[in-house]
Each structure stands twice: as C-alpha cells, then as structure tokens.
Structure 1
Amino acid sequence: MLALDTFALSQHPEQITTLDSPDAVEELLRYLSIVHLGTPNRAALEDVELEGRMIRKADTVAIGLPAVNRDPSVFSEPDILKLDREDARKHAAFGGGIHQCLGQHLARVALRIGFSCLFARFPNPRLAVPAEEIKLREQPAAYGVLALPVAWDA
C-alpha cells in the first residue's frame, strides 16, 4: 500500500503537503484499494432487485470494492484524489460489518508512520520513469505496483 499510494501521490505531488490531514490515509485507502473483492462467496438471504437486476435467494455475489469506493452517491468527485476529503471514512477498503479486516488499525498506523518517515527522509519524490511504464500487479488477491523507481530532491 505504501508503494501504491506513493505512486498515486507522484501523480498528485501538490497533495503531499496535506498528508498530515486527519483523513489523508482514509482517502488513500479509498482511492486505490489493494483488495478488489469483498469477502467472496456471500449468498443473498432473500430475493432482491438491485438497480434493475434480480438477485435470487442463495445466489452468490461478489462486491467490487473499487466500485464501492468510487460510488458518486457516497463520494463527491469520486475519481479525484483529495487528501482533505471529508467523506473519506465511508470507504470499504477493509470490508464491513462482521467481515471487516482485523488488521485495519495496524494498517492505518503503518501507513501514517510510513509516509511520515518516507517524506521526511526523501522529500519531493517523483517517478524516475514515466507513469505509463510502472507495471501493476493486478491479481485478484492484491493490487499494487511491482516496482516503483523514484527520484527525490536531496
């Protein structure tokens, strides 16, 4: 997640100065989630129509977390990274309800500390190659960057 978010921030360097805002980590989790599917193999408990499509009782469903985290009815301008976003905590990067990730608090702390140390040690990071050359890991289990070559100001 640190590498993926550093990649996102390299595309929006003006926002690095707002990393200390209370919801910056929440916005980064919302903007680029490393897990793309909610807990798989959930079954509908009853027939339900969802946006014109019938889901029958016992049908299995999968939830696309990136779609949930970009829902325009929940997030204003959902495709824009805004580290000072007020509605960032509504994301589903860690799932929800009884299936919410047990390590979510540790992940948040690791991101806050990681970014604090990273940008204190290496100010103004930028990609050392064009963004189009960054290879992404797009496996179902985890999304991220395979390598992130960066340069920074001394």
Structure 2
Amino acid sequence: MMAETNQELLRHRVPVTEEQCRSLAEEMRMLAQPQRLMILLLLRQQRCMVADIERLTGITQPMLSQYLGQLRRAELVVSERVGRKIFYRLAQTVTAQKAQDLLTILVPERSSDGAADEEKSVSSEEWPSHGHGAMFAQLL
C-alpha cells in the first residue's frame, strides 16, 4: 500500500480546502479591526445615517467613508436611500449572516423595548461616548 502524502492526510483531517480557509480568514479579517467592528455592532442594532455613525462611534467622516467602503465591498453592509437620506444597514448576505452570528456569540445584543422606529436616529444616550478606545472596550 502506498504511503499517503501530507496533502492527502490533511484532506482527511481538515474538513475544508485551503482556499476555503483563505476565504474564511479574509472574512474574519474584516471583523478584526476595531472601528469596522464598532460600525457592525452599531448597525446590528438598527440602520443609521453616516452622521449618526460618526457621532456615536467618534470615527471621523473621512475614515468612516473608508471603513464603510471596505464593509460594502466585503458584502457586510449596504446603503439605502430614503428620500434625501442615506442609511446603512447590515447586508442580507451569507457573509454578513456569518459575521452577525459570530458577533452574537462574542457580544450578545442588549434587550430592546420592541418599539423600533426605522426612521429614528440613534440617540447619544444609547451609545457610550468615552473616546475611541474606551468606547470599544465598553462594547465588549
């Protein structure tokens, strides 16, 4: 009987391919950056306008635009226009669902009162505002 190669042995022990692992690592990389993670955690609660995200996270508008662009390209968030306003929300993709499942495990959602008005903005009382690092620490 021929001895199995390392690749053959690995295939029997690892239930996914190397390419699948690379793809998963890329998806997880998007969650490994504190500001992108803050944005996702905020959008997990409700959709928000850029001004709300900026005010609640403390991320300046130029950086926020970059982060939102990265999250859009990764198919984690989408934008939607309502009249003159543009809202961001979590995407309805497999990648976004995986990210949301992971976030739910790592950072359980707070209970809400159930009365969600989709047009209302997030108030500053609903989100900690103690600077970038402290705010991120409070999320966890």
Which has a greater percent of helix?
2
Q: TM-score range by the shorter chain?
A: under 0.3
Larger of the two Rg values belongs to structure:
2
Q: Which has the higher contact order (CA 8 A, sep 6+)?
A: 1
TM-score calculated relative to the size of structure 1: 0.26
